[in-house]
Each structure stands twice: as structure tokens, then as C-alpha cells.
Amino acid sequence: VLLKVAIIGLGFVGLSFAVVLSQKNFPVLGIDIDQGKILKIKKNIAPFFEPKLNNYLRNAQKKSLQISDDLDLAVRNCDLIFITVSTPSLNSGAIDLKFIKTVIVSIGKILEKTKNKPIIIIKSTVIPQSSLNILLPLLEKYSKKSNGKGFGFITNPEFLREGSAIDDTINPHIVVVGGSEKKHIKKMKKFYSMVYKKDIPIIITNHLNAELIKYANNSFLATKISFINQLANICQKLPNANVDIIANAIGLDPRIGNLFLNAGPGFGGSCLPKDLNALINFSSKIGYKNSFLTEVR
């Protein structure tokens, strides 16, 4: 029997995940509070541009994807509840947890009144220690239940690139599952082995490592981009030096790889700068001045 899945927050990550799961026949309930967004999605129009998404959306709603604003329905009926709301940057570089905290409190209040014991899965990008120190205590406080008994709690970051979100969801390079309860980790492993028939590495670890893997991943990509841009600056001062030829050559070294080695105007998109800033901010909070990452920025 396929697990019933709810996805809370139908942005770039949530909607991509929802349509791909639906394509694989999982019953999916997509939840959002934005009525305008819900109306658009119900008409098979993605509320943002992402290649292939509209086609997938049309097929998904024919199959097993339902769209709603009813969180109650999700918490009472689904086995897995993925939280994919945004965690925007504050001016300090830290991330703002207000949306995800609101969702967690709402889920907690519904959990208190239901016998259902879903696994609550944090897919939104959250700074290290957030899952265990901030989100889980809120969930336990408002549900009056504990992790492992009244519900499950897992950290499961995403690694999507804007512009290839559907492909990256269908064929991720890795799945990271962070948790402390063996039975819930086992359930997540089983779920992902049903979603991905191929041998995609599933990393099983604790919440903290799962959070850090996401930040390490994006900060390293930002580092590669900053490195090649520094090299481009050197080449500009040398007649006959061509950074593209150099980048192409070092990219052939399998230890380096050719992705993210295009010299250009620094790194953009919404994730790399946001995650780099958040990691720098977090480092200073735990008493480590991260001069290297500050230079990358």
C-alpha cells in the first residue's frame, strides 16, 4: 500500500515534489494558504516558471494530486507530512523561521486532537540545530505528544536547482534522512526506495548532520564559483590567458569536476547566497569567525 503524502507549502520545492510523487501514483495532498496560488494550480498553471512543471501538473491532477488549504485534512489522514515552506533571509543573513514555526504550531494543535501518528518531515532549509532545538520542542508543546510516540520527526533537505527542479526531483544525486527514531528512519528509507527505483545513495544520519549537509553542499558550490571568478581576474591581467580553457582543463580532473566552473558575475539564484550568508551568520553565533566563507561571499 502506498503511503499517503501531504506537502505543506506549494512553492518551487513543494510543487515539484508533489507532481513527481503523484506521477509515481502516491496519493498526494498539496496544501497552501495562498488562495490565489491554489486557484492557479487547480487550473494547471504553476505560480512560477519552472520547465516541464505545467505538463507534470496537468498529469498529476488527473492522477492523484489534490490541492487544498485544509491542513486539518492533511494531519488527520496522511502518513508523511513534508514541510516545504520558505525560510527567507533576514538582513543579518540569518534565516527567518516564522513561516515554518507557524506551520509547526498549527500541525501540533491538530495532532493533539487526532489519533493519527504521521511523520513530520522538515524539507525546508533550516540552519543547523533548528530541527531539534526549535521546531521539535514547538511540535511537542502544542501537540502534547512526544517524538516517537505521538508522531515521527525527520529532517530531509532538498538539493534542487532552479530551472531543473523536476529533473532533480526525479533523479536526485542523494537523499538525506536525519532522525533519531529507528522505526521512522526505516519508514523513510522504504518510502524513498519506492519513489526511486534506481540506486540513489540514501544517507541516514542525525538531524544536525542532515541540516549541515545541505549548507555544506551549497557553500561548497559557491566556493567553486568564487574560485573560478578569482582565476578569471588573474587571467584578465595576462594577455593570451583564457579562463574558459583553464576551467575546462581542471574540470576534467574527477576530483574537481566541471560543474559550477563557469566564470561570470558571481553566484546568483535564490539559494547559494542565502545559504552561504546563513552559514556565516550561524558560525559567528557559535563563536567561530568564518573568514574563508566571508571571502567566498
Buried b (16+ CB within 10 A) or exposed e, 262-292: bbeeebeeebbbbbbbbbbbbbeeeeeebee
Class of domain 5-205: alpha beta
Quick one: pLDDT at residue 267? 60
The pTM score is 0.94
Is residue 264 pLDDT above 80, yes or no?
no
Virtual CA dihedral for 54, 194, 150, 71, nearest 10 degrees?
10
Strand order in the sheet with 80-83: 65-68, 28-31, 5-8, 80-83, 119-122, 152-155, 175-178, 202-205
174: left (phi over 0), alpha (psi -120 to 50) or beta: beta
Q: How far is it, in rounded angstroms, from Cα 294 to Cα 147? A: 37
Q: DSSP labels for 122-133?
A: E-S---TTHIII
Instruction: Please give the pLDDT value at position 41.
Output: 96
Any idea where the domains of the chain sit in the sequence? 5-205, 213-296
pLDDT tens-place string over residues 139-154:
999 999 999 999 999 9
- Which residues belong to the active site? 271
Q: What confidence tens digit (pLDDT) does each residue in 58-82 have?
A: 999 999 999 999 999 999 999 999 9
pLDDT of residue 268: 60
pLDDT at 167 over 90: yes
User: Percentage of the chain surpassing pLDDT 90?
Assistant: 87
Distance, CA of 53 to CA of 60 (rounded, Å): 10
Phi-psi region of 266 (alpha: psi -120 to 50; beta: other; left: phi over 0): left
pLDDT band at residue 198 under the 50/70/90 scheme: confident
CB 52 within 8 A of CB 166: yes
Structure-block grid coordinates of residue 285? 553565533
pLDDT in tens, 93-145: 999 999 999 999 999 999 999 999 999 999 999 999 999 999 999 999 999 99
Cell of 189: 528509507
Question: Chain-wide mean pLDDT for the chain?
Answer: 94
Q: What is the pLDDT at residue 203?
A: 98
Contact between residue 45 and residue 38 where contact means Cβ atoms under 8 Å apart? no
Strands 65-68 and 28-31, bridge-based pairing: parallel
CA distance 5 to 29: 6
Say if residue 263's pLDDT is above 80: no
Residue 270: is its pLDDT beyond 80? no
CATH 3.20.20.210 fits 213-296, yes or no: no
206-253 pLDDT, tens digit each: 999 999 999 999 999 999 989 999 999 999 999 999 999 999 999 999
SS3 190: helix
